[in-house]
A and B are shown apart, each in its own frame.
Chain A
Amino acid sequence: MKNEIKETLNMDNFKEEILDLYPKKVGKKRGKSIVLSNPDDIPEIQANVRTVPGIITQRGCTYAGCKGVVLGPTRDIINITHGPIGCGYYSWLTRRNQTRPVSAEDPNFMTYCFSTDMHDSNIVFGGEDKLKQAIREAYELFHPKAIAIFSTCPVGLIGDDVHRVSRQMKEELPGVNIFGFSCEGYRGVSQSAGHHIANNGLFQNLIGRNDEIKGKYKFRVNVLGEYNIGGDAFAIDSLFDKCGIEIVSTMSGNSTIEKFENAHTADLSLVMCHRSINYVAEMLETSFGIPWTKANFIGAEATAKSLRKVGEYFGDQELIDRIEKVIEEEMIPVKEAVEKARTKTVGKTAMLFVGGSRAHHYQELFNELGIQILSAGYEFGHRDDYEGRRVIPTIQMDADSRNIQEITVSQDATRYHPRKTEEELEELKEKGMEFNNYEGMMADMQKGLLVIDDLSHYEMEKLIELYKPDIFCAGVKEKYVVQKMGIPLKQLHNYDSGGPYAAFEGAINFYKDIEMIACSTIFKQLKAPWEREDVVEAQYVFN
């Protein structure tokens, strides 16, 4: 079925067809970001490079990646945006990170927006005093356990030092953990730089500050790169609970300071969104001896596979049996739902251009529905997210990556202990488990599909015009453009207010939502009757 559809489309000429229109230099550059997939011989793709100015891009900025994505979902930190009002405003409640305080007293500041609202006088004379005063006021009003400061573009230019202010205020307000992020919007080529900066900050200021072993189960994991959009983390939480596995820390969906501080007491890190959190996974490995493995809870098969990995890692027969039992039980309604949906979805086609992991993960769900992927790409991925981590040593560091702080961590003097011996790891690897590795999106894509990094608006229009997918997946900026063309767009950033889509429960939700899209009739009624048929002129009989 898959190949039949593919054979009717020839995507080999896409590149040539679209590059002509660009100015020559731009076309040359874009050409390197467009490749045809080949799982047997994974091609090199250009990624994580600057967007050409003037190109209409999906990408955002470093601040968005740091404050918006990684630190935003933590409910008990007061996140103060240091800058003019806009940046704080646009990252206020716009990302659907759900959170569930455990009691009425459990703090939750995610519904609040805090900003120093810098004015021209702060730009001219410096904004540090205003920032300090803002921190004092936040403390007086709310008495939070932690306050984080996020720098916006002008902050870096005028030389405000958010780190110095944080240190000073920490002295002034003992007991409050105050730390800053130099995540000015211009620092990287996309949100990705902000993820990296956030990861460093998490490690330096939160992770590893509380050694107490908490929780009820002895099998202890972290779920990294899961932001609880639409309640995904809740679905994963409840699944793990059924299996008897403790999630020590989720980064950063539904997270709290306490959970971060405790993350180093886990024995395995499961990495969902590789792009946004792999730095933390690596640092937990280096510093505390916690191995990480790539996991994916998007798609029922992928969820089962990821769960089995956990069982295999801990090597406990009871756990393995329990996991199998849970999978068996969960798969019953999954199969029912997928069979129902497949009657409407098999043979449809889809394109995915989103994020730094979802364009890969969601292919699982579409495959389960029998929907052919035609094309995919990331908004802010790096080469390793496409080609696998094996290419990391060959990635050339450019000026934009160089100015993002790299922190070097070393083994923690007292708390480093490898969770598995070398021999045990080898044994697990022989059984097929992979550690500290990600194979990338292209390894999972069939031959000859278009992989495009940092898709431009123009390329999107062309893709749709040439290949007419049944469903296009992207974000809100693309949604209404694509739908005007009469093609439904499924948002994979915010799920169009749907979800959860993670775990078995989420897979069922996704099948239903895609079935709904496939069955939706509104796009078939766009022509008025008088546009559809020859208009018959009325004739009258007169005497």
Chain B
Amino acid sequence: MLLKHTTGLEIDRKALTINPAKTCQPVGAMYAALGIHGCLPHSHGSQGCCSYHRSALSRHFREPVMASTSSFSEGSSVFGGSANLLQSIETIFTVYKPEVIAVHTTCLSETIGDDLNQIISKSKEDGKVPDGKYVIYCNTPSYVGTHVTGYSNQVAALVKFFSTATPKKRNVINLVSGWMEPSDQREIKRLVSVLEARTLMFPDMTDVLDTPLTGTYKMYPDGGTTVNDLKLTGDSKFTLGLGQYCTEDTCIKLENKCKVKFEILDIPIGFKATDRFLMALSRHANVPIPDALTDERGRLLDLISDSSKYLYGKRVALFGDPDTLIPLTEFLVSMDMRPVYIVTGTPGKSFDERMTVILKDIPEAKFMSGEMADMFRLHQWIKQEGVDLLIGNTYGKYIARDENIPLIRYGFPIADRPGHNYFAKTGYAGAANLAVQIISAILDQKDRTCLEEKVEFQQ
């Protein structure tokens, strides 16, 4: 047994997190910053933070993930990291030549109290920031919130530093992307093009973290939202935020700064969330939803209905991030599955509120968010009463093997299977991809474990 010390007996834990369903802020900031064209994320702290985050993102995407670090020493921890950041800015613009340096802080620089605004201003005064280049920053103390908070803070910083309202409004809808895969964003952009709507997505990791193999390495890949587009977000006529936890703060800041109104939607995972996304986009972009998409939806429902007997009543345990878990749980319920255990390490009231509504017909369902909502607890619940399916990141494989339940890999990090940045899980096509994975996992498990005479040619 891989997790042999886990039993169903829960104690009242107050201090010890075991097998977390979250990580800390800066990796989220780093990921979001990669969605800006020509941007080098910069970690203002010890080398280890940057190294860990780059490794985690590299393992997950199997793509180059470039970022630099202020390489704090004991001296900088005592005297402050100002000299390190000034040196970093000079070195980076000289050697690595990005358009934008996106600095994020760490628990170290936050505890010291480095004033990034002042340090960056000084680097400009000293002439270390070349004309037309930018140094932006966000505060991402690791001891507040989670990686989701870090993502949100980095995206909000894009508004703070770039969004500009001019008198010339544009007939464009901003799409603020929550934490999803480049494949998911690519699918959303495809839906937009089918609708013939005009949108501007930020951040945008397509063609950054899913680049083709050509034999040529581009330190700054072709993708990513350009600085020019980021500036234009202030002139768009409306904003759709995809995923409340990752985008609400950005939407509010953009409204406050540039008077662009907004609506928060779920990431379009599953047909209901996709329906809502398309209707909102259709309404705000003032374009009809073409029949082609109605057909896509119909094909998805056809697929689900053909296999519904294998889905009905199946008990599912999930862990991950709220913005994903909310629509995903809704999708499972809409396929008559029973999501019974759900944990996220990311705190926030709306997760609990949304889950209460989504799970209202599943009285046995337990969900928990924030501190102590970890995978150890999820596993304890599973020990108390089993499930048919587990959905979560690669760390779930240890539970899956011990309990002999299939695992659908979803979330971050996925370090042991390829394809998540290739095949989307958003939109109707993505939902079909997900449904097929779920059905296949359940049937594979049945085919492997059922009595010989129950092995069916057709199911």
A binds B: yes
Nearest-CB residue, chain A, relative to B375: A113
State the Cβ distance, A380 to closest chain B Cβ, in Å.
10
The CA-CA distance from A104 to B56 in the complex, in Å, is: 32
Instruction: Say yes or no: A480 contacts B16, CB within 8 Å.
Output: no
CB contacts (< 8 Å) of A158 on chain B: these are 111
CB contacts (< 8 Å) of B42 on chain A: these are 54
CB contacts (< 8 Å) of A200 on chain B: these are none
State the Cβ distance, B390 to closest chain A Cβ, in Å.
15
Q: Which of B170-184 contact A (CB under 8 A)?
A: none
A114 within 8 A of B: yes
Instruction: Say yes or no: A190 contacts B108, CB within 8 Å.
Output: no
State the Cβ distance, B218 to closest chain A Cβ, in Å.
8
State the Cβ distance, A188 to closest chain B Cβ, in Å.
8
State the Cβ distance, B46 to closest chain A Cβ, in Å.
4
How extensive is the interface on chain A, given as a class? Answer: 35 or more
A64 within 8 A of B: yes
Instruction: Say yes or no: A53 contacts B64, CB within 8 Å.
Output: no
CB contacts (< 8 Å) of B450 on chain A: these are none
Known contacts A116-B15, A477-B58, A153 near B63 by CB under 8 Å: no
Instruction: Say yes or no: A185 contacts B13, CB within 8 Å.
Output: no
Instruction: Say yes or no: A53 contacts B87, CB within 8 Å.
Output: yes
B124 within 8 A of A: no
The CA-CA distance from A59 to B49 in the complex, in Å, is: 10
B423 within 8 A of A: no
A109 within 8 A of B: yes
Q: Which of B214-247 contact A (CB under 8 A)?
A: 214-219
Instruction: Say yes or no: A119 contacts B144, CB within 8 Å.
Output: yes
State the Cβ distance, A455 to closest chain B Cβ, in Å.
13
B268 within 8 A of A: no
Known contacts A61-B47, A131-B15, A56 near B77 by CB under 8 Å: no
Query: Mask for B56-100, Cβ within 8 A of A = 1, else 0?
Result: 101101111111111111111100000011011111101110000
A13 within 8 A of B: no
Nearest-CB residue, chain B, relative to A398: B73
Chain B interface, number of residues (Cβ within 8 angstroms):
86
Instruction: Say yes or no: B85 contacts A154, CB within 8 Å.
Output: no
CB contacts (< 8 Å) of B87 on chain A: these are 52-54
CB contacts (< 8 Å) of B211 on chain A: these are 484
Which of B25, B27, B108 contacts A153, CB < 8 Å? B108
Which of A91, A120, A136 contacts B141, CB < 8 Å? A120
Q: Which of B404-448 contact A (CB under 8 A)?
A: 415
B14 within 8 A of A: yes
CB contacts (< 8 Å) of B312 on chain A: these are none
Which of A62, A113, A185, A477 contacts B65, CB < 8 Å? A477
A142 within 8 A of B: yes
Which of A112, A486, A523 contacts B19, CB < 8 Å? A112
A483 within 8 A of B: yes
B357 within 8 A of A: no
Instruction: Say yes or no: A54 contacts B88, CB within 8 Å.
Output: yes
Known contacts A54-B90, A526-B215, A142 near B5 by CB under 8 Å: yes
B310 within 8 A of A: no
Nearest-CB residue, chain A, relative to B67: A56
Known contacts A119-B371, A153-B77, A154-B143, A107 near B5 by CB under 8 Å: yes
CB contacts (< 8 Å) of B1 on chain A: these are 104
Instruction: Say yes or no: B55 contacts A85, CB within 8 Å.
Output: no
B199 within 8 A of A: no
Nearest-CB residue, chain A, relative to B142: A84
The CA-CA distance from A476 to B218 in the complex, in Å, is: 17
Which of A26, A59, A117, A186 contacts B108, CB < 8 Å? A186
Instruction: Say yes or no: B51 contacts A115, CB within 8 Å.
Output: no
For the complex of A and B, list the 10 residue pairs with the smallest distance between their C-beta atoms, beginning with the closest. A61-B48, A54-B91, A86-B24, A54-B88, A185-B46, A486-B215, A133-B15, A84-B142, A90-B52, A153-B108
